[in-house]
Amino acid sequence: MKILIIDIDITLIGGVAKVVSNLANLLSKKHQVDILSMYKQNELFFKLDKKINLYFFNQKGYKHINKNTYKKYKYNIILYLVFKFIFKHKYYCEKIKIYFQNQKIKQIISQYDIVINNNYFLFNTIKIKNVNLIQIMHGNFIYYSKDLLKKLHFFDHLVILSDKQIDKWKKYHKNIHVIPNFIPFISQKESNYKQKNILSIGRMVCNDEKGFLRLIEIWKLIHKKYQDWTLTLVGEGELKYLIQEKIKENHLKNIILKPFTKEIEQEYLNASIYLMCSYYEGFPMVLIEASSYALPLLAFDIHTGPKDIIEDQKSGFLIQDGNLKDFAQKLCILMDNENLRKTMGKKAKEKIKKEFSKEVIMQKWEKLFTS
């Protein structure tokens, strides 16, 4: 089959871009796969199979704030960044709508058997006869507006990442398929649990959706007791300057900030525990990746995401959302017990092999294509 996968920006360093890249590489083993990216901010970060054709609509990058901008807006930085985020995406919506009204674009799409859309801005613009349209919903049901949900019937199939909210999705679409994200490669390497280093990875975006600021608050509760431990934060984004300021203000010398890297494997291997403090997630790839290196996991029990991956008390701990004190206490339990870290980490890896391998997920996609 000829398959087109659509994404807003395949060059972004984040979860959706990684998921799209992984999916394209997987499907290209049996199908002809192309990717259509609406924007190009950076050079391609995640590797694509040489057989995959990659097309861009707009190669102009986005503007990010720098240190000088931060200093100017230091005392109202959160308000500034939130408005920046809102207006930026409003601009994207209008531009995407214009592009897809172009008949030439429709002609391109009409050449494919299947179109897999990863961008929920696209509605009523690419409906073409004999093209099977599939929409992947990467986020939590509760964060989508009713107006948007009512338009989902436009697609032939709807893919959700978890069955936790399937009853809610069924109210808006009759063809629902649960296909979680997967890990393309399960490493033979594992943490040895002796490194006194804790890891958290994510985009440091303006609304702090990954919860780095509250992770710093958690670290404040325990860092004096564990001065020989380090907390490594890997990520980039507009919020990084505020995170740096918060670290300095609280004299947290054992927090290390690092940029995203293509050599991320070494970061996992250098850690003994993985933390996630997100306020919301769709299906967090970082938890799957951390599990593949047999790291025990800690995360807040938010609406969706962590509970699909973490088995509480077995492969890690799920903490009541917002309970920073309990999070800190559970973290201390793991920091004090190397054997527990190893036991939980091994169970985390077992679950990944069983439920989120590329072989398991490929079967689910093939079943959808033939349905």
Say if residue 122 is in the same domain as residue 236: no
3-state secondary structure the chain: CEEEEEECCCCCCCHHHHHHHHHHHHHCCCCEEEEEEEECCCCCCCCCCCCCEEEEEECCCCCCCCHHHHHHCHHHHHHHHHHHHHHHHHHHHHHHHHHHCCHHHHHHHCCCCEEEECCCCCCCCCCCCCCEEEEEECCCHHHCCHHHHCCHHHCCEEEECCCCCHHHHCCCCCCEEECCCCECCCCCCCCCCCCCEEEEECCCCCCCCCCHHHHHHHHHHHCCCCCCCEEEEECCCCCHHHHHHHHHHCCCCCEEEECCCCCHHHHHHCCCEEEECCCCCCCCHHHHHHHHCCCCEEEECCCCCHHHHCCECCCEEEECCCCHHHHHHHHHHHHHCHHHHHHHHHHHHHHHHHHCEHHHHHHHHHHHHCC
Are 204 and 327 in a shared domain?
yes
Q: Tell me, yes or no, whether 192 lies in a domain.
A: no
Q: Residue 181's pLDDT is what?
A: 94
Q: 138 and 226, same structural domain?
A: no
Would 191 be classed as within a structural domain?
no
Same domain? For 11 and 153 the reply is yes
Range of the domain at 297: 197-355
Q: What is the pTM of this model?
A: 0.81
The reply to whether 106 and 254 lie within a common domain is no
Q: Let me know whether 130 and 243 are in one domain.
A: no
pLDDT band at 63 (very low <50, low <70, confident <90, very high): very low
In a domain, 190, yes or no: no
Same domain, 7 and 151: yes
Q: Is residue 265 part of a domain?
A: yes
Q: Domain count of the chain?
A: 2
Quick one: 362 and 350 in the same domain? no
Shared-domain flag, residues 211 and 142: no
In a domain, 65, yes or no: yes
- Which domain CATH number covers 176? 3.40.50.2000
Predicted local confidence at residue 288, as pLDDT: 95
**Torsion angle, alpha carbons of 158, 163, 167, 169, to 10:** -30
255/335 same-domain check: yes
pLDDT score, position 146: 87
- What's the rounded mean pLDDT across residues 207-222? 97
Answer yes or no: is 338 within a domain.
yes
Residue type, 59: Q
In this prediction, residue 81 carries a pLDDT of 56
Q: Is the pLDDT assigned to residue 79 strictly greater than 70?
A: no
Q: Is residue 88 part of a domain?
A: no
Percent of the chain with pLDDT over 70: 85
Instruction: Report the pLDDT value the prediction gives residue 12, as an integer from 0 to 100.
Output: 83
Q: Are residues 311 and 337 in the same domain?
A: yes
258 found inside a domain: yes
Across 18-32, 107-121, 256-270, 282-296, least confident range:
107-121
Q: Does 230 lie in the same domain as 209? A: yes
